[in-house]
């Protein structure tokens, strides 16, 4: 259960949020400021990070500072950690490793090594660097927290999403290991595994044309709001929860994969073969896959 607000890690935190310029990261930053925190908003898009800071300043609670940081570059994460400790005048007390990109729409064998490296560089190595560099600071801080943003993709084995799935599975394993290493200490670890959340992830990433449209449509219809995801995750973190699987469909996928792994994977295969046929039936011409964004 919750203690008093002063006991809660997400209240009055000295927090760093990566990917804070949009979507879930922005919602984390705004919510942490609302809870009285001082927030470093780090993003590869510094203008978007500054927009988040402006939103926080309009809200009138907490305080925030925007920083450019490409999480796939160790030197940027080193600089972020140093800047955070200087800015706070104390070690960071809450690290939210959130920055990530969407990639999908092609099966293994057609993804290309450049796309694998790009996606894993951000989605996996970014979180490895963020954890490796910030953990000593978090441990020095006393009562501290680490939140890593994975995805249901970590265990759902969705076809045509291997580069995304592999990165997120790594983030899940990384978070579970840090939690085991931190047992009995003052460091709490949480890993977030949502399905669809209404953000820019399917627009800005490298998702083949048809798959990007499909993801955006499903996201629009079924996606949870990033604000609700952020609040739910921070509250669960305060309760000491390791796993946050916020949506019923995510929990269903997790249960099916754990209890009926062979049936689950076989079912996915059938669905994967049926979908293109369904698509041909419902659309007069199937467009050639095109890249969205970079």
Residues annotated as catalytic (active site), given as ranges = 164
Q: Is residue 56 a contact residue for ligand NAD (CB under 6 A)?
A: no
174 is an interface residue for ligand NAD by CB under 6 A: no
Rg (the chain; Cα; Å)? 19
Distance CA 143, CA 160 (A): 41
Residues 3-22: x where in contact with ligand NAD by CB under 6 A, - otherwise, as a string? ---------------xx-xx
Residue 22 or residue 175: which is nearer to ligand NAD going by CB? 22
Alpha helices in the chain (DSSP H): 23-34, 46-59, 74-88, 113-123, 125-140, 153-156, 162-181, 201-204, 209-222, 226-238, 248-259, 261-282
Task: Work out whether 100 is an interface residue with ligand NAD (CB under 6 A).
Answer: yes
Q: Which of 10, 13, 14, 25 binds ligand NAD (CB under 6 A)?
A: 25
By beta-carbon proximity to ligand NAD, the closer residue of 91 and 194 is 194
Give Cα separations from 14 to 40, 177, 271 (angstroms): 8, 24, 45
Nearest approach, Cβ of residue 195 and ligand NAD (Å)? 6
Q: According to CB under 6 A, which residues from 186 to 245 bind ligand NAD?
A: 194, 196-197, 199-201, 204, 219
Burial 3-15 (b: 16+ CB within 10 A, else e): eeeeebbbbbbbb
Residue 29: count of CB within 10 angstroms of its CB: 33
Cβ partners under 8 Å of residue 73, min gap 6: none
102-141 footprint of ligand NAD as x/- string (CB under 6 A): --------------------x-------------------
Q: What is the dihedral of CA 215, 203, 249, 154, to 10 degrees?
A: 110
Distance of CA 121 to the CA centre of its chain: 14
How many residues interact with ligand NAD (rule CB under 6 A)? 30
**Min separation Cβ 281 and ligand NAD, Å:** 27
What is the nearest approach in angstroms of ligand NAD to the Cβ of residue 269? 23
Binding mask 71-90 for ligand NAD (x = CB under 6 A): xx------------------
Determine the angle formed by the axes of helices 113-123 and 125-140, rounding to 10 degrees: 20
98 lies in the site for ligand NAD, by CB under 6 A: yes
| Residue placing its CB nearer to ligand NAD in the complex, 44 or 188 | 44
Residues forming the site for ligand NAD (CB under 6 A): 18-19, 21-25, 43-45, 48, 69-72, 98-101, 122, 149, 151, 194, 196-197, 199-201, 204, 219
């Amino acid at each position: 259960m919750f203690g008093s607000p002063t006991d809660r890690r997400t209240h009055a935190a000295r927090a760093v949020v990566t990917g804070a310029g949009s979507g879930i990261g922005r919602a984390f930053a705004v919510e942490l400021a609302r809870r009285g925190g001082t927030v470093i908003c780090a993003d590869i898009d510094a203008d978007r990070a500054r927009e988040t800071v402006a939103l926080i300043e309009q809200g009138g609670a907490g305080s925030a500072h925007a920083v450019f940081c490409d999480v796939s570059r160790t030197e940027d994460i080193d600089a972020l950690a140093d800047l955070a400790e200087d800015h706070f005048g104390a070690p960071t007390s809450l690290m939210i490793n959130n920055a990530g990109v969407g990639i999908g729409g092609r099966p293994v064998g057609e993804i290309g090594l450049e796309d694998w490296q790009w996606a894993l560089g951000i989605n996996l190595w970014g979180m490895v660097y963020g954890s490796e560099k910030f953990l000593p600071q978090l441990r020095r801080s006393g009562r501290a927290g680490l939140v890593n943003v994975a995805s249901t993709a970590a265990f759902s084995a969705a076809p045509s999403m291997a580069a995304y799935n592999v990165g997120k599975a790594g983030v899940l394993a990384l978070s579970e290991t840090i939690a085991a290493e931190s047992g009995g200490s003052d460091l709490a670890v949480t890993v977030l595994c949502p399905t669809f959340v209404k953000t820019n992830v399917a627009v800005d990433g490298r998702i083949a044309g048809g798959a990007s449209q499909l993801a955006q449509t499903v996201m629009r219809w079924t996606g949870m709001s990033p604000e609700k995801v952020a609040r739910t995750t921070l509250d669960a973190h305060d309760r000491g929860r390791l796993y946050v699987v916020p949506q019923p469909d995510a929990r269903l996928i997790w249960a099916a994969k754990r209890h009926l792994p062979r049936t689950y994977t076989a079912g996915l295969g059938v669905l994967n073969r049926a979908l293109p046929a369904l698509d041909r039936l419902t659309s007069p011409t199937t467009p050639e896959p095109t890249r969205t964004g970079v």
